[in-house]
Amino acid sequence: MSYLNKIANWYFSRKALPLWGILLIDNLIVFVTFVFMYLFFDTNERSFSHIGHVSLNILVYLVFYNVAFRIFRTFSGILRYSSFVDLQRVGYAMMLGSVLSYIFYRIMAALHVGGMLNISGRQLVATMIGGTLALWVLRMGVKMLYDILFASQRGKRTYIFGVKHDGIAIAKHIRSEKPMRFNLKGFATVEKEMDGHVLMGMKVRMADSNLVERMKAENIEALIVSPYRLVEFRNRQDLQDELIRAGVHIYVTQGTKELDNTDQAQPEMLPDLDTAPQLREISIEDLLPRDEILVNMKEVGQQLKGRCIMITGSAGSIGSEMVRQIAVYKPSKMVLVDQAETPQHDIRLMMNSRWPNTEAHVIVASICERDHMETLFHLYRPEYVFHAAAYKHVPMMEDNPSESVRNNIIGTRVIADLAVKYGVKKFVMISTDKAVNPTNVMGCSKRICEIYVQSLDKAIKDGKVEGQTQFVTTRFGNVLGSNGSVIPLFKEQIKKGGPVTVTDPNIIRYFMLIPEACKLVLEAGTRGKGGEIFVFDMGKPVKIADLAERMIRLSGAKNVEIKFTGLRPGEKLYEEVLNEEETTKPSFHEKIRIAMVREYDYDDVCREIDQLYAISKQFADMDTVAKMKAIVPEYKSNNSIYSKLDQ
């Protein structure tokens, strides 16, 4: 066996055989098969006394088979990576070669020429079958030898979570990898009817409480989760924790269609299993439990196609994802506004690379500069405005309330007023759950923004303000992986060896994927009638301390401490999506509800905001926050220097 190993290692460590080498071997196999069948069927002449007769027939036979080999390119593959498709090609080529030979012999017989060309039909069929089997055995034999003696020694011993077409498709692609990274040993499934079956020579095991113990017994090092089973796997936190503790590496297929934001409805934007899957190690974002969110993006796309779209805050986490999702639907123009120069440059490069045929104007500007914004509205005449620009970091705005007023509130007012003046069809403002019963400056500033755009929409409907613009507000919680959010921070802290800082052991937050949130924004924005505050169902809340523990385990890091630092100024233990006095009614989507909130008079709101802005320009923080509390009485500061204003 050691001698065989040496030969195999020598062969497989070399480059693949050249095409002419494979063709030569195939011809040799056909030649031997033909001679064997010729002697077997020609019972009267089992000798080489008729060598000329045999040679002429073999020559004719090989000519037609080489024509067939050329047509189906049976020699273009690499033997050690042979697949079912390669076997199909061989079978088709052998059939075609036999048919061509048979036709040629019959023509020669009909013309009474070529007396030595007289092979029987039985011999032709037998040669075709025997030659096909021999060529199959060659390819599968080399592949099996490579898998057993070479590739299996290098790849990780692996299970696939998911069976039927999805698991099988992944298994086929993995087995054809060059070189092989994974040594497949079995499947795991949640489908009881598949338990105990054998697929591709590997056993299917039930993903029950004993699965990890079985994997340990087989020294399984990796688990690949099918994209069609990711939702089920995500909800099996017990299984995830056991796998992580056992040191099993978990892989998922790269969500290529999610990254490209196609018009599929599935939240995971499932990869095409007809192409080779790109695998990556699982991240904490993949494991957080959440329900499926299905959105009819085709209907959204129909409304946005051919329109001029403006996106403010286009370089931010939400804004940049809005750019990607909307660009797919071929708007006539995209006006992308943000004051962050370097991220805007990245957006420009992305548009030039991925959507070169879309007219995109990437503009570095502040939404607070009315003259500049009016120039943009006058020049491009946007039909839809998605307003994502805002300062969002709670501690920063707690220290800079005047800037929060200027950028968040006044900036929103500038864009909203210009939208009315220049006939924008729909204005969609992106708000936050921190606007509900706010405990910090940032949340209160967003609540005032909500009040302004809602009162403006009502004023238009009541005829107090001339215009046709519909104003829609979307309100949701934290998004996974956004700039400055807790998950990137934890990753960096774990990478440095800790400690991982959590403000309070009991703090909880709601999370949503950025693409999912943006899809809901697009659906709510395009289907809203104006005046609504759409509230997204954020699913189950996540305890941040538990999140930190799972991220540490998932990383494989040892001795990383979790340090509790205390709530930051303005921070609260949990976020709300609705005020206690608010009720909701259902909307067109089960994950979106409409908040029934208090209505405000537009003139009163304008007067209050004017006064607030005048105070904020004095940079008197206490006076500024006091005025914000007067506008939003439910704003009660938490763990903040402004708490004295609530007494």
The secondary structure element, H or E, covering residue 604 is helix 602-616
pLDDT in tens, 258-271: 433 333 433 334 44
Do residues 639 and 570 touch, judged by C-beta distance below 8 A? yes
CA distances, 512 to each of 3, 33, 113, 615 (Å) = 57, 64, 80, 36
Q: How far apart are CA 560 and CA 268, in angstroms?
A: 31
Q: How far apart are CA 495 and CA 534, in angstroms?
A: 38
Q: What pLDDT does 259 receive?
A: 35
Same domain, 587 and 532: yes
Query: Which amino acid appears at position 111 of this protein?
Result: L
What is the side-by-side strand order in the sheet with 533-536? 359-364, 333-338, 308-312, 384-387, 426-432, 470-476, 533-536, 592-596, 583-586
Q: What pLDDT does 265 receive?
A: 37
| 573 in a structural domain | no
**Structure-block tokens of residue 459:** 């004023």
The average pLDDT across 169-187 equals 77
Instruction: Indicate the number of domains in the chain.
Output: 3
First to last CA, the chain: 86
51 — pLDDT class (breaks 50, 70, 90): low
Same domain, 372 and 423: yes
Q: What pLDDT does 273 receive?
A: 45
pLDDT in tens, 339-389: 999 999 999 999 999 999 999 999 999 999 999 999 999 999 999 999 999
Q: What DSSP state is assigned to residue 496?
A: T
pLDDT beyond 80 at 218: yes
- Could you list the residue range(s) of the whole structural domain that residue 242 is in? 154-282
pLDDT beyond 80 at 6: no
Q: How far apart are CA 123 and CA 129, in angstroms?
A: 10
pLDDT in tens, 559-584: 888 999 888 776 767 766 554 455 76
Same domain, 21 and 50: yes
Give the end of a domain, one of 282, 317, 332.
Answer: 282
Same domain, 451 and 371: yes
Residues 6+ apart with CB under 8 A from 115: none
The Cβ of residue 82 has, within 10 Å, a number of other Cβ atoms equal to 21
Mean confidence (pLDDT) of the chain: 82
Cα 455 to its chain centre, rounded Å, is 38
pLDDT beyond 60 at 257: no
Do residues 365 and 337 touch, judged by C-beta distance below 8 A? yes
**Any alpha helices (H) in 330-410, and if so which ranges?**
341-354, 370-380, 394-399, 401-404
Same domain, 532 and 408: yes
**Any alpha helices (H) in 178-261, and if so which ranges?**
211-217, 230-234, 237-245, 256-260
Same domain, 177 and 141: no
| 644 in a structural domain | no
Same domain, 67 and 159: no
Q: What pLDDT does 226 receive?
A: 85
Do residues 127 and 34 touch, judged by C-beta distance below 8 A? yes
**Structure-block tokens of residue 182:** 């994974």
The average pLDDT across 588-606 equals 84
The Cβ of residue 584 has, within 10 Å, a number of other Cβ atoms equal to 16
Same domain, 395 and 247: no
| 500 in a structural domain | no
Q: What is the four-CA torsion angle of 637, 638, 644, 647, rounded to 10 degrees?
A: 80
Handedness of CA 282, 283, 289, 293 (dihedral sign): negative
The average pLDDT across 224-249 equals 83
The average pLDDT across 228-241 equals 81
pLDDT in tens, 143-171: 777 666 655 556 788 898 888 777 778 88
| 508 in a structural domain | no
Q: How far apart are CA 323 and CA 351, in angstroms?
A: 9
pLDDT beyond 90 at 453: yes
Give the end of a domain, one of 282, 315, 338.
Answer: 282
Give the end of a domain, one of 95, 117, 149.
Answer: 149
Q: What DSSP state is assigned to residue 410?
A: I
Catalytic site residue 434? yes
Q: What pLDDT does 579 receive?
A: 47
Residue scoring higher pLDDT (95 or 82): 95
Q: What DSSP state is assigned to residue 275?
A: S
pLDDT in tens, 393-451: 888 999 999 999 999 999 999 999 999 999 999 999 999 888 888 999 999 999 999 99
Q: What pLDDT does 441 receive?
A: 95
Same domain, 110 and 83: yes
Residue scoring higher pLDDT (242 or 425): 425
| 233 in a structural domain | yes
Cα 490 to its chain centre, rounded Å, is 22
The average pLDDT across 599-627 equals 95
The secondary structure element, H or E, covering residue 385 is strand 384-387
pLDDT beyond 70 at 15: no
For residue 261, the domain's CATH number is 3.40.50.720
Query: Which listed residue (143, 156, 426, 434) is catalytic?
Result: 434
Q: What is the four-CA torsion angle of 487, 490, 496, 502, rounded to 10 degrees?
A: 170
Q: What pLDDT does 46 receive?
A: 46
Residues 6+ apart with CB under 8 A from 49: none
| 571 in a structural domain | no
pLDDT in tens, 319-352: 999 999 999 999 999 999 999 999 999 999 999 9
Place of tokens 């209050």: 608
Same domain, 271 and 257: yes
Q: What pLDDT does 263 receive?
A: 39
pLDDT beyond 90 at 5: no
Q: What pLDDT does 123 receive?
A: 77
Same domain, 449 and 333: yes
Residue scoring higher pLDDT (499 or 274): 499
The Cβ of residue 88 has, within 10 Å, a number of other Cβ atoms equal to 12
Same domain, 473 and 343: yes
| 64 in a structural domain | yes
Q: What is the largest CA-CA distance in the chain?
A: 118
Q: At what angle do helices 51-72 and 19-41 cross, to 10 degrees?
A: 140
SS (H, E, C) 517-571: HHHHHHHHHHHCCCCCEEEECCCCCEEHHHHHHHHHHHHCCCCCCEEECCCCCCC
pLDDT in tens, 29-48: 888 888 787 777 665 554 44
Residues 6+ apart with CB under 8 A from 548: 490, 500, 502, 562
Q: How far apart are CA 482 and CA 370, in angstroms?
A: 28
Residue scoring higher pLDDT (186 or 152): 186
499: preceding bond cis by omega (within 30 degrees): yes
Q: Name the least confident of 23-27, 163-167, 201-205, 349-353.
A: 163-167
Q: What pLDDT does 8 receive?
A: 53
What is the side-by-side strand order in the sheet with 182-189? 198-199, 202-206, 182-189, 156-161, 222-225, 249-253, 279-281
Q: What pLDDT does 237 receive?
A: 78
Q: What pLDDT does 53 receive?
A: 63
Residues β-bridged to residue 224: 160, 251
| 487 in a structural domain | no
List the Cα angle 361/364/365 in 5-degree steps: 115
CA distances, 441 to each of 211, 399, 402, 614 (Å) = 50, 9, 10, 17
